[in-house]
């Protein structure tokens, strides 16, 4: 069994995002391209976004720290620490309201 602290990984990704010129960082904790399940911690600095993109499969987003907005078409959902958002099966984007770290889980 492998154990990781999501709190510690979130802190690390926020620091890496702050140090990156893009203002974002990510680390896949489980899975990858050969697995059907993938879990990735993503850090975004305030004001940064993940541009609109397609959903590669069923996906959820769990906010670990900070605040974000998930947008899909005319719909918008706010998420803050502790919230779990089900990502719609449609094009969507994520915007960091303030520094935010979240766990993205995708099942292809």
Task: Give the closest residue to 37 by CA, choosing from 54, 7, 60.
Answer: 60
Tokens 């947008």 belong to 71
Pair 9, 27: CB distance under 8 Å:
yes
Q: Report pLDDT for 32.
A: 77
pLDDT digits (tens, 9 = 90+) for 32-74: 778 899 999 999 999 999 999 988 789 999 999 999 999 999 9
- Classify 20 as helix, strand or coil: coil
pLDDT digits (tens, 9 = 90+) for 65-83: 999 999 999 999 999 999 9
Which domains are present in the chain? 6-107 (2.60.120.10)
Provide the β-strand partners of residue 86: 60
pTM of the model: 0.94
d(CA 86, CA 6): 19
What six digits make up the tokens of 91? 């094009």
């Amino acid at each position: 069994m492998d154990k990781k602290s999501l709190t510690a990984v979130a802190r690390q990704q926020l620091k890496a995002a702050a140090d990156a010129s893009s203002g974002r960082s990510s680390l896949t904790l489980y899975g990858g391209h050969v697995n059907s399940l993938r879990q990735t911690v993503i850090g975004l600095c305030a004001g940064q976004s993940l541009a609109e993109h397609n959903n590669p499969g069923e996906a959820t987003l769990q906010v670990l720290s900070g605040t974000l907005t998930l947008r899909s078409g005319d719909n918008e959902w706010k998420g803050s620490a502790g919230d779990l958002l089900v990502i719609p099966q449609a094009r969507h984007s994520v915007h960091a309201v303030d520094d935010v770290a979240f766990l993205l889980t995708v099942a292809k």
